[in-house]
Amino acid sequence: MTTKNIFIGWLAVWLPLLAQAKHRIIAPNVKSLQVVVNQDWQSMPVMTLGSNDVLYVSFDELSHNYQRFTAHLEPCNPDWTPTEGLFESDWLEGFNDLPIEDYENSLNTTVLYTHYRMEIPNEQCRLKMSGNYRLHVLDEEGEEALVAEFRVMEPLMNVGLGISTNTDIDNRRSHQQVAMTVNCNTLRITNLDEQIQTFVLQNWREDNMKENVRPNYITPGRLQWEHNRHLIFEAGNEYHKYETLDPSHPTMGLDNILWNEEEKRYHAHPFVCEPQRNYTYDEDADGAFFIRNSENYEIDRTCDYINVHYVLKALRQYENTRIIVDGHWTTEAPENYVATYDEEQGAYHATVLQKQGYYNYQFLMLDPDGLTHRMPEEGSFYQTENRYQALVYYKGIGQRTWRLVGFQQVTFRE
């Protein structure tokens, strides 16, 4: 079997698994998908039903030719399967399949692009029901260009989260324990397994989230998880970070940035990532990113695109797994983030075309079964600052849909 065929086989496994619940770009000419509520770029995109919250969805198409994109909304279950048995009027006020009419061409950039954006709610549509939603953006031919996923919450249950390093598995070395309480308030629960679904996430990653862990204590109107072994997370390490604010000189986290005259393209080199033997605190955004440049003016259309070269010094070359660059911004096809091994340098390399801005990233091992693992070089330390999120869904007796009735996010700092 050729290397190409092996790689295609890997992708056949990866794509269904990685696409379960993650923003993703499908069209090769689309870049820089951003899905943000109220401009809070460091938090999960979760709106509160009936509030003044606004979801902003934006992306670039790499040309100055106008493309007619259409946005189609779809309600989903907590596991992101499409919700069945609903009329559109049950969850949507207004119209679906709206054209994205807010766009502008890039200005003074080496890579030409058109920036598109839309807001929800808007004058033509408003959501009426809490839960998970998938936004499909289709091109002129009706082909899917990208998918954005977000949640709408109605605060009917109170969720409490507590994080500690007191775990039962490694005596405060590399893991963190989550404790959770849910006060059901006026919502009646007669069958826990059929009426409640819970999800606990670390840095809103869904590849290692804890799903429907049974509570240790169940009392009328209250659920409680204490010292639950199924709510222990590997602590990991702080994300790597850098900024590409000005292509004329290196900025935070960059070793150098160079202009390639033949390619007519800038190339940025973040500092080489070395194996982490000990924990060192370095403030990060837990995988998030923010498009910006040094001018900080009309950034959506004045930020340029740059080839960014990622390097991780490795203890060895790893077999039967792929090494990938990972962050909330890695929304394109998985092969775009695969790092290859350089035997001479003893390091993994990946090159990604990215818009100017502030980026967090880490390196992960991706197995053929779709499971991800932290690389030994990255380290895992109990002191690591992490953001944890909890989602609680409820379905009443005889009701057709799952409602998102509780959400909480806390930051752990040792």
Which of 126, 153, 180 is the C-terminal boundary of a domain? 153
Residue 111 lies in a domain: yes
Shared domain for 40 and 145, answered yes or no, is: yes
Residue 7 lies in a domain: no
Shared domain for 135 and 260, answered yes or no, is: no
Residue 15 lies in a domain: no
Shared domain for 166 and 291, answered yes or no, is: no
Shared domain for 232 and 245, answered yes or no, is: no
Domain that holds residue 185: 158-236+384-412
Shared domain for 186 and 122, answered yes or no, is: no
Shared domain for 325 and 389, answered yes or no, is: no
In angstroms, what CA-CA distances link 98 with 38, 220, 385? Answer: 21, 45, 40
Which of 153, 169, 190 is the C-terminal boundary of a domain? 153
Spell out, as residue ranges, where the chain has pLDDT lower than 70: 1-21, 171
The CATH number covering residue 408 comes to 2.60.40
Residue 220 lies in a domain: yes
Residue with tokens 């808007």: 122
Shared domain for 83 and 53, answered yes or no, is: yes
Shared domain for 97 and 116, answered yes or no, is: yes
Three-state DSSP class for 319? coil
> Which tokens sit at 187?
């919502």
What pLDDT was estimated at residue 17?
41
Residues 113-142 pLDDT 10s: 999 999 999 999 999 999 999 999 999 999
Shared domain for 318 and 392, answered yes or no, is: no
Cα-trace Rg, the chain: 22
**266 with 306: CB under 8 angstroms?**
yes
Residue 163 lies in a domain: yes
Other C-beta atoms closer than 10 Å to the C-beta of 54 total 14
Which of 89, 118, 153 is the C-terminal boundary of a domain? 153
What pLDDT was estimated at residue 296?
86
Shared domain for 48 and 62, answered yes or no, is: yes
Distance of CA 350 to the CA centre of its chain: 19
What pLDDT was estimated at residue 170?
74
Residue 14 lies in a domain: no
What pLDDT was estimated at residue 6?
39
In angstroms, what CA-CA distances link 272 with 29, 315, 339? Answer: 29, 14, 13
Residue 16 lies in a domain: no
Beta bridge partners of 222: 183, 219
Shared domain for 328 and 254, answered yes or no, is: yes
How many folded domains does the chain comprise?
3
Shared domain for 281 and 360, answered yes or no, is: yes
What pLDDT was estimated at residue 414?
79
What pLDDT was estimated at residue 171?
64
Residue with tokens 């009027």: 89
Residue 5 lies in a domain: no
